[in-house]
């Protein structure tokens, strides 16, 4: 069952929130809407959910136009950043709430709740109340509640952003495992690049109400098409055409047709080769220990360059280095 979004527009008080959004989400696919605050990703999710009406455009589920379908009848499961659990209900009652208001039989509710408690690893927490749970456990309950009604689409609005780093990492893996096992098409809003790259089959990178690029995480990281995507999808060096003409002219030979003089080469720091060399044209200006690697700042041919090297590599500030760049590791981006 696929979701099709066609030419979607949304304005707020004359300000464009969504501009010509076209997107298709396939059955069983996990898609992340990624971008900075204010880029339109939550507005898009709320339009899909039926919580906002777009000004123009279509949203179709398996070919069915959802324009006249209210949110409660769309059959979607929604999980927000705030868990929104009922504090006076037990975990089991919270998970079964959607089935209960739909008139499901008690035996079916009980069986489904047991199944989902096992799925989210909370089998022994059925009789506890939300106030007795950690933040990560509460979010597991919220996810289970959204799954209880067998949604046609799962919508997640930054569901892990309020959790600490260790719990967030743990829940990422669990969320992906649950989504894969159930095969529910899922759309998740996040501003966290690492989160999107871990979870998504495809990332939709948004900026100022527009989709900048759509593709698998590896593609957006290694082959960004615009400066915005190159800059937003992790650390990188953007090398302008003017600078390349003097400093690295061999890279200009790889410039694709259609890339103007305003374009640039995106070079990820792990692809900057460094070797100590007293006659090298680069000089280490600073470095940061990052655990399994070091992030190195250097001055090379009149500009700052960022490199990443194994943690055991020894550099001192002021060391001269030879810099090696392979054109195959570079991606050309337009302005």
What value does the mean pLDDT take over residues 217-243?
Answer: 95
Token pair of 218 as six digits: 């590896």
> Residue 174 pLDDT more than 80?
yes
Write the DSSP assignment of 132-201 as a string of letters. GS-HHHHHHHHHHHHHHT--SEEEEESTTTTS-HHHHHHHHHHHHHHHHHHT--EEEEES-HHHHHHH-S
> For residues 262 and 34, what is the distance between their CA atoms, to the nearest angstrom?
25
- pTM comes to 0.91
**Cα dist. 297→134, 244, 287, 309, 323 in Å?**
40, 19, 6, 11, 12
Pairing of strands 153-157, 186-190: parallel
What value does the mean pLDDT take over residues 224-247?
Answer: 94
> For residues 151 and 141, what is the distance between their CA atoms, to the nearest angstrom?
16
> For residues 136 and 168, what is the distance between their CA atoms, to the nearest angstrom?
8
253 — phi, psi (to 5°)? -65, -20
What value does the mean pLDDT take over residues 296-304?
Answer: 95
Q: What is the pLDDT of residues 88-137, one digit of tens each?
A: 999 999 999 999 988 899 999 999 999 999 999 999 999 999 999 998 99
> Residue 162 pLDDT more than 90?
no
Dihedral of alpha carbons 137, 141, 147, 153, sign:
negative
Yes or no: say if 241 and 263 are a contact pair by the CB < 8 Å rule.
yes
Q: Which residue has the tokens 């950690």?
A: 134
Of 134, 135, 91, the closest CA to residue 113 belongs to 91
Yes or no: say if 235 and 314 are a contact pair by the CB < 8 Å rule.
no
Of 3, 48, 9, the closest CA to residue 27 belongs to 3
**Cα dist. 121→30, 99, 159, 191, 217 in Å?**
21, 20, 17, 27, 28
**Cα dist. 130→86, 88, 97, 174, 211 in Å?**
8, 8, 14, 20, 38
Least confident of 19-33, 65-79, 279-293: 65-79
Q: Is 124 exposed, middle or buried (0-12, 13-18, 19+ CB in 10 A)?
A: exposed
What value does the mean pLDDT take over residues 144-157?
Answer: 93
The confidence score (pLDDT) of residue 93 equals 95
The confidence score (pLDDT) of residue 83 equals 73
Q: Is 253 exposed, middle or buried (0-12, 13-18, 19+ CB in 10 A)?
A: exposed
Question: Could you tell me the pLDDT band of residue 230, with boundaries at 50, 70 and 90?
Answer: very high
> Residue 81 pLDDT more than 90?
no
Average pLDDT taken over every residue of the chain: 93
The confidence score (pLDDT) of residue 52 equals 95
User: What percentage of the chain has pLDDT greater than the value 70?
Assistant: 100
Q: What is the pLDDT of residues 178-187, one digit of tens each?
A: 899 889 999 9
Question: Could you tell me the pLDDT band of residue 214, with boundaries at 50, 70 and 90?
Answer: very high
> Residue 1 pLDDT more than 80?
no
- CA–centroid distance for 132 within its chain: 30
> Residue 321 pLDDT more than 80?
yes
325 three-class SS = coil
- Provide the 10 A C-beta neighbour count for residue 285: 14
What value does the mean pLDDT take over residues 68-96?
Answer: 91
> For residues 24 and 5, what is the distance between their CA atoms, to the nearest angstrom?
6
> For residues 259 and 86, what is the distance between their CA atoms, to the nearest angstrom?
54
Write the DSSP assignment of 31-87 as a string of letters. EEEE--TTSSHHHHHHHHHTSS--SEEEEEETTEE-TT--GGGS-EEEE-SS----T
- Provide the 10 A C-beta neighbour count for residue 109: 20
């Amino acid at each position: 069952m696929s979701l099709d979004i066609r030419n979607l527009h949304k304005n707020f008080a004359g300000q464009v929130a969504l501009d010509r959004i076209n997107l298709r989400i396939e059955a069983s696919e996990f898609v992340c809407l990624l971008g900075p605050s204010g880029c339109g990703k939550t507005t898009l999710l709320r339009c899909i959910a039926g919580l906002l009406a777009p000004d123009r455009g279509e949203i179709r589920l398996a070919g069915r136009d959802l324009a006249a379908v209210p949110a409660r009848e769309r059959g979607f499961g929604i999980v927000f950043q705030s868990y929104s659990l009922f504090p006076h209900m037990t975990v089991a009652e919270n998970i079964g709430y959607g089935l209960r208001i739909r008139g499901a039989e008690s035996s079916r509710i009980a069986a489904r709740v047991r199944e989902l408690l096992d799925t989210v690893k909370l089998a022994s927490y059925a009789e506890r109340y939300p106030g007795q749970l950690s933040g990560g456990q509460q979010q597991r309950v919220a996810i289970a509640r959204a799954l209880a009604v067998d949604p046609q689409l799962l919508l997640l609005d930054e569901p892990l952003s309020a959790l600490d780093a260790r719990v967030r990492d743990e829940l990422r893996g669990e969320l992906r495992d649950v989504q894969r096992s159930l095969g529910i098409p899922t759309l998740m809003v996040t501003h966290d690049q690492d989160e999107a790259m871990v979870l998504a089959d495809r990332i939709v990178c948004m900026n100022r109400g527009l989709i900048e690029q759509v593709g698998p995480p590896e593609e957006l990281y290694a082959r960004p098409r615009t400066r915005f995507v190159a800059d937003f999808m992790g650390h990188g060096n953007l090398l302008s055409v003017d600078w390349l003409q003097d400093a690295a002219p061999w890279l200009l030979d790889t410039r694709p047709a259609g890339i103007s003089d305003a374009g640039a080469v995106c070079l990820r720091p792990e692809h900057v080769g460094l070797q100590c060399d007293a006659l090298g044209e680069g000089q280490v200006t600073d470095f940061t220990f990052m655990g399994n690697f070091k992030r190195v700042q250097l001055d090379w041919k009149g500009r700052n360059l960022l490199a990443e090297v194994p943690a055991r590599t020894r550099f001192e500030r002021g060391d001269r280095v030879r810099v090696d760049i392979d054109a195959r590791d570079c991606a050309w981006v337009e302005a």
